[in-house]
Structure 1
Amino acid sequence: MDPATLPVGARVKYYRRKNGNRSQAAVAGLCGITERYLQQIEAGTKVPSARVLSRLAAELGVPVAALLADEPVVCPTAPLTAAPAVARALMGCGPPRNDEPPDAAELRERVGEAWGIWQSSRTRFTEAAEILPDLITEVELAVRAHRTGNDAAARREVLRVAADLYGLLRSYCRRAGRLDLSLMVADRAIRAAESADDPVRIAAAQWNLGHVLLSHDEPGAVDEAKDVALSAVAQLRQAPVTIASKAVEGALELVAVVSDARRHRWWEARQRLEQHAAPLARQVGEGNVQWTVFGPTNVEMHAMSIEMLAGEAVEGLRVADQIDTSRLPSRERQFTFGLELARCHDLRREDAAVLVHLLDLEEIAPEDLVRSALARSMILDLQKRVRPTFRRQVTDLTQRLQLV
Structure 2
Amino acid sequence: MCTQGAILCLSPYAEPSTCPRKKGNSVNSPCLPIGERIRYHRTRRGRTQVAVAGLAGITEAYLSQIERGLKVPSADVLTRIAAELNVPVASLLGEDPAPSTTEASTTTASSVVRALMGRGVPRGTEPATPTALRERVEAVWRIWQESPARFTEAEKLLPSLISDTEHAICAHRTGTDTGGRREVFRTAADLYGLLRSYCRRTGRLDLSLVAADRARRAAEDADDPVRIATAQWNLGHVLLSQGEEQAQEAGAVALLAVEGLQCVPQSPEATAVRGALELVAVLSSARTCRWSEARKRLEQRARPLAEQVGDGNVQWTVFGPTNVELHAMSLGMLAGEASEALRVADQIDTSHLPSRERQFTFGLEVARCYDLRREDAAVLVHLLSLEELAPEDLVRSPLAREMVTNLVRRVRPTYRRQAAALAQRMSLL
Structure 1 length-normalised TM:
0.79
State the match for 1:177 in structure 2. 203
Alpha-carbon shift at residue 154 of structure 1 (Å): 1.0
| 154, 162, 165: which one aligns with 2:180 | 154
Question: Are the counterparts in 1 of residues 338 and 369 from structure 2 also a CA contact under 8 Å?
Answer: yes
State the match for 1:100 in structure 2. 126
Question: Are the counterparts in 1 of residues 404 and 419 from structure 2 also a CA contact under 8 Å?
Answer: yes
Q: Deviations over 1:290-313 (max 9, x none)?
A: 000000000000000000000000
* Aligned CA distance change for structure 1 residues 309 and 80 (closer, same or farther; 3 Å): farther
| Unaligned 5+ runs, structure 2 | 1-23, 27-104
Counterpart amino acid of residue 250 in structure 1? G
The separation in 1 between residues aligned to 2:356 and 2:392, in whole angstroms, is: 11
Alpha-carbon shift at residue 150 of structure 1 (Å): 1.1
Q: Deviations over 1:164-191 (max 9, x none)?
A: 0000100000101000110001000000
| 242, 266, 279: which one aligns with 2:267 | 242
State the match for 1:21 in structure 2. none
Paired residues in the alignment total 329
The separation in 2 between residues aligned to 1:326 and 1:160, in whole angstroms, is: 30
State the match for 2:12 in structure 1. none
Alpha-carbon shift at residue 95 of structure 1 (Å): 4.8
State the match for 2:137 in structure 1. 111
Alpha-carbon shift at residue 94 of structure 1 (Å): 2.7
| 214, 228, 234: which one aligns with 2:253 | 228
Question: Are the counterparts in 2 of residues 114 and 131 from structure 1 also a CA contact under 8 Å?
Answer: yes
The separation in 2 between residues aligned to 1:236 and 1:81, in whole angstroms, is: 41
State the match for 1:354 in structure 2. 379
State the match for 2:364 in structure 1. 339
Q: Deviations over 1:11-64 (max 9, x none)?
A: xxxxxxxxxxxxxxxxxxxxxxxxxxxxxxxxxxxxxxxxxxxxxxxxxxxxxx
State the match for 2:238 in structure 1. 212
Counterpart amino acid of residue 330 in structure 1? S
Alpha-carbon shift at residue 146 of structure 1 (Å): 0.4
Counterpart amino acid of residue 144 in structure 2? W
Question: Are the counterparts in 2 of residues 190 and 205 from structure 1 also a CA contact under 8 Å?
Answer: yes
Alpha-carbon shift at residue 81 of structure 1 (Å): 9.8
Alpha-carbon shift at residue 102 of structure 1 (Å): 1.2
State the match for 1:368 in structure 2. 393
* Aligned CA distance change for structure 1 residues 358 and 82 (closer, same or farther; 3 Å): farther
State the match for 1:274 in structure 2. 299
Question: Are the counterparts in 2 of residues 82 and 176 from structure 1 also a CA contact under 8 Å?
Answer: no
CA RMSD of aligned residues (A): 1.7
State the match for 1:295 in structure 2. 320
Q: Which runs of 4+ in 1 moved over 3 A?
A: 79-82
Question: Are the counterparts in 1 of residues 188 and 215 from structure 2 also a CA contact under 8 Å?
Answer: yes
Alpha-carbon shift at residue 264 of structure 1 (Å): 1.2
The separation in 1 between residues aligned to 2:320 and 2:189, in whole angstroms, is: 22
Counterpart amino acid of residue 358 in structure 1? L
Q: Bigger relative contact order, structure 1 or 2, given CA contacts below 8 A and separation 6+? A: 2
SS in 1 for 2:266: coil
Alpha-carbon shift at residue 237 of structure 1 (Å): 1.1
Q: How many percent of aligned residue pairs carry the same amino acid? A: 68
SS in 2 for 1:286: coil
1:328 matched to 2:350: no
| Unaligned 5+ runs, structure 1 | 1-67, 71-78
Alpha-carbon shift at residue 265 of structure 1 (Å): 1.1
State the match for 1:188 in structure 2. 214
State the match for 1:124 in structure 2. 150
| 197, 218, 224: which one aligns with 1:198 | 224
The separation in 1 between residues aligned to 2:179 and 2:261, in whole angstroms, is: 22
Alpha-carbon shift at residue 96 of structure 1 (Å): 2.6
Instruction: Spell out the pairing of 1:54-73 with structure 2 (5 A cutoff).
Output: none
State the match for 1:74 in structure 2. none
Alpha-carbon shift at residue 82 of structure 1 (Å): 7.6
The separation in 2 between residues aligned to 1:220 and 1:139, in whole angstroms, is: 34
State the match for 2:171 in structure 1. 145
State the match for 1:166 in structure 2. 192
- Structure number with larger C-alpha Rg: 2
Q: Deviations over 1:197-249 (max 9, x none)?
A: 100000001000000000113x5210110000000000011111000000000
Question: Are the counterparts in 1 of residues 146 and 355 from structure 2 also a CA contact under 8 Å?
Answer: yes
Structure 2 length-normalised TM:
0.75
Q: Deviations over 1:91-134 (max 9, x none)?
A: 01235352211110111011000000000000000001000000
Counterpart amino acid of residue 141 in structure 1? H
Question: Are the counterparts in 2 of residues 81 and 176 from structure 1 also a CA contact under 8 Å?
Answer: no
1:284 matched to 2:306: no
State the match for 1:30 in structure 2. none
